[in-house]
Amino acid sequence: MRIIGMISGTSLDAIDVAAADVQLDGAVIRMSPLGHAERPWPGSTRARLLAALPPAPVSMGEVCRLDVEVGEAFAEAAAWADRELAHGRAELVASHGQNVFHWVEAGRARGTLQLGQPACIAERTLLPVISDFRASDIAAGGQGAPLASTLDALWLADPAGAKRAALNLGGIANVTVVGRFGEPVLAFDTGPANCLMDLEAARLTGGTQPADLDGRIAAAGRVRQDLLTRLLTEPYYALPPPKSTGRELFAEGYLARFADGLPELTGPDTMATLAELTAATVAEACLGAGVSGVIASGGGVRNPVLMAALRRRLAPATLETAEILGLPSAGKEAYLFALLGFLTWNGLPGVVPGATGSRTPRILGRISPGPRPLRLPDPAPAPERLLIVPLR
């Protein structure tokens, strides 16, 4: 199938979209990436989404309006991707949408909400759309995250059993620890990646800069050990996996609670400390799992201060980016949803054993048919590997 995958991550920096040819060949899924892009949010949609995130109060009317407007923005991105990346031959759209709330209570995920009305996408593209990927896993007792573990387990499994971790540095950092083919994986959110740094960048620049571009602010500062020590007392880090978190915890005002009473902090020192916090919590999770190498992706790989801190803290484990194994760092999550859409369409579970804590891996998502009747194939045999195949 030729599939379009889409997601807007926790940082809300853009709509990530990718197109891929995906084929099941015996026990191997072959994915040929066709291209990916970051499509900008239209008008005031991003600002209104940020204003609606916890702990801000928001009306149901605004939730309804945002659901439709996000759906229309994703519909535009999908239509562009079909035309420019899939050459008008896309057969399916898999849309994660925009996560706005992840309900975790006493360590258990109870619910999740992603906006982006799939009917808008189906109407614009005239293609079936799979959406709402997390809810089935949560209903089955899982965390609903990190769903990247599905791609990671098939992509990184090693016949010799060497342990590697796939690391995603979005708004939240998540890792998947993968060993031998067929073994259960360990997957969980480690804590913040860019979300606290993004909030600080917006504060320091009056909202004109949504992120610490190229790590320039952090590079001008030094790590404040007193602040870092306080930040590392966050109880979430001590919870056993599987576990998940989001901007509900690492939200506006979070940093101020830990900085209260400390000697004056400069913006660059604060940013350098937040980068070190991400590196410290990621490294503790990876080294504690005994990995020999880490494959990173997501927006955080563009921050040289964060990557340098990770290399220092992860040693002797190696740190590489996803390009070394054929996937673009910036487009990996969009390709993930193309893969998850393919699995759902073929009647296959979208979560691998051990990844999210669900009792039994479930088929993920719900299908919006589009204008034509659905004809789903018979369930396919479970795959064992994902092979990235460059197009010739």
Q: How would you write the chain as a 3-class SS string? A: CEEEEEEECCCCCCEEEEEEEEEEECCEEEEEEEEEEEECCCCCHHHHHHHHCCCCCCCHHHHHHHHHHHHHHHHHHHHHHHHHCCCCCCCEEEEEEEEEEEEEECCEEEEEEEECCHHHHHHHHCCCEEECCCHHHHHCCCCCCCCHHHHHHHHHCCCCCCCEEEEEECCEEEEEEECCCCCCCEEEEEEECCHHHHHHHHHHCCCCCCCCHHHHHHHCCCCCHHHHHHHCCCHHHHCCCCCCCCCCCCCCCHHHHHHCCCCCCCHHHHHHHHHHHHHHHHHHHHHHCCCCEEEEECHHHHCHHHHHHHHHHHCCCEEEEHHHHCCCCCCHHHHHHHHHHHHHHCCCCCCCCCCCCCCCCCCCCEEECCCCCCCCCCCCCCCCEEEECCCC
Query: How confident is residue 10, by pLDDT bands cut at 50, 70 and 90?
Result: confident
Positive or negative, the Cα torsion across 138, 139, 142, 148?
A: negative
Span 375-381, average pLDDT: 94
Which domains, and CATH codes, for the chain? 2-148+329-388 (3.30.420.40), 158-325 (3.30.420.40)
Q: What is the mean pLDDT of residues 232-238?
A: 97
Mean pLDDT of 295-306: 96
Average pLDDT on 293-311 reads 97
| pLDDT band at residue 194 using 50, 70 and 90 as cut-offs | very high
- Whether this model's pTM surpasses 0.85: yes
Model confidence pLDDT, tens digit, residues 254-278: 999 999 999 999 999 999 999 999 9
- Tens of pLDDT, residue by residue over 29-77, are 999 999 999 999 998 999 999 999 988 899 999 999 999 999 999 999 9
In this prediction, residues 280-301 reach a mean pLDDT of 96
The separation between CA 264 and the C-alpha centre of its own chain, rounded to angstroms, equals 34
Query: Residue 144 pLDDT > 90, yes or no?
Result: yes
pLDDT value at residue 392: 62
pLDDT, tens digit, 9 for 90 and up, residues 325-363: 999 999 999 999 999 999 999 999 999 887 888 888 899
